[in-house]
Structure 1
Amino acid sequence: MPKSLFWSRTDTAGAEHALLDDGQGLAARGTMLAVDPIPWTGRYQVTTAPDWTTSRVEVEVEGAGWLRSVRLERAADRWRVTTAEQGDLDAALAAAGHRPAGLPGTDDPDRLGDALDVDLGGSPLFNALPVRRLGLTGRPADTAYRITVAWVLVPSLAVVPAEQVYTSLGPGRIRFSSGTFTADIDLDAEGYVLRYPGVAERGDAG
């Protein structure tokens, strides 16, 4: 993997380190750490087609006494979602005074049919997928795209469809909106997040 990106979380104690090759689409693997809602470590792998349409994502999240994994694979315009679980995340959440996470994955993969991108919760790397697929870094200001993504929540690894809007604000900046949440995100020349207000900031030299 010829490139290395590192982000520090600004919404909670945590970080993300991604190693990637983007010569023909994206092939990346990364590690995430966070303490919210309870301490967990996540590992992921993501592969896209040359046009940056997501084809496969694998995520594993682990904490004290539990481990969950989910795999999403897209073929013939459909998503296949596979999950596994060890231990009891809900018990760990309850012990810390939090609500249950529910089951990982989805009970109806067809609900994800319109999604060409996967969004992994809390991961700045995954914002690059629609940015690069839509060519947003080269679009005129105020060019907006409304998309559906397969949103993977952490640490539960539940997978739900989510509507998001990406708007070009000119070179090096986009506006991200989903529901009532909006953020103006700074990007580098290749479309990777430099600063995501309230979420993360890049800490590497690249």
Structure 2
Amino acid sequence: MPLPNVVFWERSDVPGAEHALLETRDGLYARGTLLAAVPVPFACHYEVRTGPDGATVRLDARTEGAGWARGVRLELAAGRWRVTGSEQGDLDAELTRSGHARAGLPGCADPDLLYGAFDVGLGGSALSATLPVRRLGLLGSEAGVSHRLSVAWVLLPSLEVVQADQIYTPLGDGRVRFADETASVDLIFDGDGLVTDRPGLARRVTASA
């Protein structure tokens, strides 16, 4: 059964939402918008593409808020990530006015640290969990067997890119346990491999809800 063309999640941690349009020919292509009011009100527009093997090959993301805008592009070429960042205005000034710490620069100072990462994650995005789950076929794999991954993780709203270690463990019945250095939660997926509930972050909203 193909993925739905449109998906929508409502944030449960902060005021916000995520909307994405999906295509599944020759891999997964998603074009979406993520809105959040914390740490400062911002919008993130993104495009992500995977190859037929499920590995992410490209991510373009742009964030914008009051008086600032940032962009980042990640491209996988010959097994290595090429990362390009850009910025306009002053996000740090907006963060400081809101009582938050300064942000890192968009992009990655040393892309070689991302070597071995086959998935890209976007902070605050429910769609991000779909990428490794689909690539590894976890919804149909043996329950209880953990998979440790290296992920190119994009922080929002700064668009700083860091290497992150994550563990995914299929539990059966459309559930996969996600763990990193800060959290461990049981994600719930539909039959198409899309997150319906990511406790503490977002819940899928459907037309009948």
TM band (smaller chain): over 0.9
Which residue does 2:189 correspond to in 1?
A: 187
SS at match of 2:142: coil
* Paired residues for 1:161-200 under 5 Å: 161-200=163-202
CA RMSD of aligned residues (A): 1.3
Other-structure match for 2:206 = 204
Secondary structure of the 2:172 match is coil
Structure-2 change in CA distance of 1:153 and 1:110 (3 Å): same
Query: Aligned letter for 1:56?
Result: R
Query: Percentage identity across aligned positions?
Result: 55
Please list, as runs of the form range in 1=range in 2, the aligned pairs for 1:135-150 lying within 5 A after superposition: 135-150=137-152
Q: Which amino acid aligns with 1:125?
A: L
Q: Distance in 1 between matches of 2:177 and 2:127?
A: 16
Q: Secondary structure in 2 aligned to 1:7?
A: strand
Match of 2:42 in 1: 40
CA contact (8 A) 1:42 1:60 kept: yes
2:86 corresponding residue in structure 1: 84
Q: Take 2:101 and 2:182, find their aligned partners in 1: how far apart are those partners?
A: 22
Work out the CA distance in 2 between the residues paired with 1:205 and 1:128. Answer: 21
Does structure 1 residue 111 correspond to structure 2 residue 116?
no
Q: 2:135 & 2:84 partners in 1: Cα distance?
A: 25
Question: Match of 1:56?
Answer: 58
CA distance in 1 between partners of 2:78 and 2:57 (Å): 11
Equivalent position amino acid for 2:30 in 1: A
Q: Give 3-state SS (helix, strand or coil) of 1:150's partner.
A: strand
Compared CA separation, residues 16 and 156, structure 1 to 2 (3 A): same
Q: TM-score, normalised by structure 1?
A: 0.97
SS of residue paired to 1:161: strand
1:95 aligns with 2:113: no
Give how far 1:2 is off.
6.3
Structure 2: stretches of 5+ with no match in the other structure = none
Equivalent residue pairs, number: 206
For residue 55 of structure 1, give the secondary structure of its aligned residue in structure 2: strand
Structure 1 runs not aligned, ≥5 long: none
Contact (CA 8 Å) 1:149, 1:164: kept in 2 or not? yes
What does the per-residue CA deviation read over 1:69-126, in whole Å, with 9 as the maximum and x for residues that have no partner? 0000001010000011000000110111111002111110000011000000010111
Could you tell me how far 1:171 is from its partner in structure 2? 2.4
Q: Contact 1:33 / 1:41 at 8 angstroms: preserved in 2?
A: yes
Are the aligned partners of 1:138 and 1:171 in contact in 2 as well (CA < 8 Å)?
no
SS in 1 for 2:113: helix
SS at match of 1:169: strand
* CA distance in structure 2 between the aligned counterparts of 1:118 and 1:135, rounded to whole angstroms: 17
The code of the aligned residue for 1:147 comes to L
Find the aligned partners of 2:121 and 2:202 in 1 and give their Cα distance: 15
Shift of 1:137: 0.6
1:180, distance to aligned residue in structure 2 (A): 3.5
